[in-house]
Amino acid sequence: MNVIDLFAGCGGLSTGFEMAGYKIPLAVERDGWASETYKKNHKGTKVITGDITQIQDLDSLFSKKKIKIDGIIGGPPCQGFSLSGNRDKKDPRNSLFIEFVRFVKHFQPTFFVMENVTGILSMQTKSGELVKDVILSEYNKAGYNVEIYVLNAAEFGVPQKRIRVFFIGLKKEILYDREMLKPKGFLFGDNQITIEQAIMDLPQISAGAGKEPVEYPCCPQNKYQKWARQKSTAVYNHIAMKHSARLVERFSHIGYGQSVADVAQEYQQRQRGNANKISGRTYSQNNMRPYPNRPSPTVPASFQSNFVHPYIDRNYTAREGARLQSFPDSYIFCGKRTTMSWEKNLSQYQQIGNAVPPLLAKGIAESIARYLKREK
């Protein structure tokens, strides 16, 4: 089946759908570095880098021959990106969500998958409408039955507790059964994958160390590691951030389940220009050392400063974050590893943290394929 990926990012959704046997003839992504990553890893896909609102002639997207589009996938932001001046920014009809609807209306795919954060379920417009009800209404008018699923990536073999909302729509002429359509979780064994199981076969480098490519230091130790390495002969994107000696010492005093806010006073961050005064800017969500024998907490776009490695006194590398997101080691990330606040493009860390975990996407894709095959 042919699928279009909108707001594609670095390609997490696409990767999962390709794992399930789908083809991705077209992807649209605004960010230059994320688009570069996508192109490097999906060489058979036409990638449009730019503003989706500027794509007016949808018929011209496939110039040589008409391609039947079976599905549209993506994660459009449903608030904070108003396209209508002073209108209600919480109303999805004024956001980039409506661009997703425009593609669905034009191509009339058999199905679509739209991903978002769980907060969208309780979000309201200024007039008091639930945003999810507005979304469901728009798709109903477009000719689709839509079901909302709240899924935890850890139940799909991803070594991370990441809960997201998925709107899965089917054309109204297709017989509809919520339970039959619901994505089914799968694991690599009897239990969820832990951080230790996910990353401990990677080179154990200290702060500021690393090169690419680098050889694997050992054979895979479990099914997840074996899966992650299946098409890779070396490790990329595994260069550790540089830390001062004081920061490394501070990290050494962070226990499991603790963050930089929990260290003793003598190790806390100091004000710039005044080493005798403790900084008031200490955030409990920064530099947390997670339990290695559990799945990771959610890996956000800012994960380069959110976590300290379970056993090494440094932050995660981009590759370690990619492992926790279930990207295979053969997936190479482009652009800078980190960026300053004024830089516009998405860093490798941001690309990884923003992505839908490929194994979760694969589970959704397989569920849809099974359902549609059953209906034929």
**pLDDT computed for residue 289 by the predictor:** 97
**pLDDT computed for residue 264 by the predictor:** 75
| Residue 167 pLDDT greater than 70, yes or no | yes
Percent of the chain with pLDDT over 90: 74
21 Cβ contact partners less than 8 Å away, ≥ 6 residues apart: 1, 365, 369
For 306-326, the pLDDT digits (tens) are 999 999 999 999 999 999 999
Q: Examine residue 184 and state whether it is found in any structural domain, yes or no.
A: yes
User: Higher-confidence residue: 78 or 42?
Assistant: 42
For 267-277, the pLDDT digits (tens) are 666 555 555 55
Q: Which two tokens stand for residue 246?
A: 């004081």
Q: Examine residue 79 and state whether it is found in any structural domain, yes or no.
A: yes
**pLDDT computed for residue 125 by the predictor:** 82
Structural contact between residues 142 and 170, judged by C-beta atoms closer than 8 angstroms: no
Overall number of domains in the chain? 1
Catalytic residues: 78
Alpha helices (H) in the chain, listed in sequence order: 12-19, 32-41, 97-107, 131-141, 178-181, 195-199, 223-228, 245-252, 303-306, 318-324, 348-354, 358-375
**pLDDT computed for residue 141 by the predictor:** 96
Place of tokens 């024998």: 293
Amino acid at 166: F
For 4-36, the pLDDT digits (tens) are 999 999 999 999 999 999 999 999 999 999 999
Q: Which domain holds residue 42?
A: 2-188+357-375
Q: Examine residue 306 and state whether it is found in any structural domain, yes or no.
A: no
Write down the mean pLDDT value for the chain. 90
**pLDDT computed for residue 24 by the predictor:** 98
Q: Examine residue 76 and state whether it is found in any structural domain, yes or no.
A: yes
**pLDDT computed for residue 82 by the predictor:** 39
Residue 252: which of 264, 240, 242, 239 has the closest Cα?
A: 264
| Residue 255 pLDDT greater than 60, yes or no | yes
pTM tops 0.85? yes
> How many of the other CB atoms lie within 10 Å of CB of 335?
22
Among 60-69, 157-166, 189-198, the minimum mean pLDDT is found in: 60-69
Q: What is the mean pLDDT of residues 149-173?
A: 97
Q: Which two tokens stand for residue 233?
A: 């002969």
Q: Which two tokens stand for residue 357?
A: 């975990």
**pLDDT computed for residue 269 by the predictor:** 61
For 78-132, the pLDDT digits (tens) are 655 334 445 566 555 567 889 999 999 999 999 999 999 998 898 888 888 888 9
Structural contact between residues 14 and 38, judged by C-beta atoms closer than 8 angstroms: yes
**pLDDT computed for residue 150 by the predictor:** 97
> What's the CATH code of the domain at 362?
3.40.50.150
Q: Examine residue 57 and state whether it is found in any structural domain, yes or no.
A: yes
- In the beta sheet, which residues pair with residue 150? 165
**pLDDT computed for residue 83 by the predictor:** 42
d(CA 352, CA 320): 10
Confidence of residue 332 (pLDDT cuts 50, 70, 90): very high
Confidence of residue 343 (pLDDT cuts 50, 70, 90): confident
User: Higher-confidence residue: 37 or 188?
Assistant: 37
Percent of the chain with pLDDT over 70: 89
Q: Examine residue 225 and state whether it is found in any structural domain, yes or no.
A: no
Q: Examine residue 88 and state whether it is found in any structural domain, yes or no.
A: yes
Confidence of residue 341 (pLDDT cuts 50, 70, 90): confident
Structural contact between residues 181 and 363, judged by C-beta atoms closer than 8 angstroms: no
Q: Examine residue 236 and state whether it is found in any structural domain, yes or no.
A: no
Instruction: Say whether the peptide bond before residue 213 is cis (omega within 30 degrees of 0).
Output: yes
User: Higher-confidence residue: 98 or 375?
Assistant: 98
Q: What is the mean pLDDT of residues 292-308?
A: 95
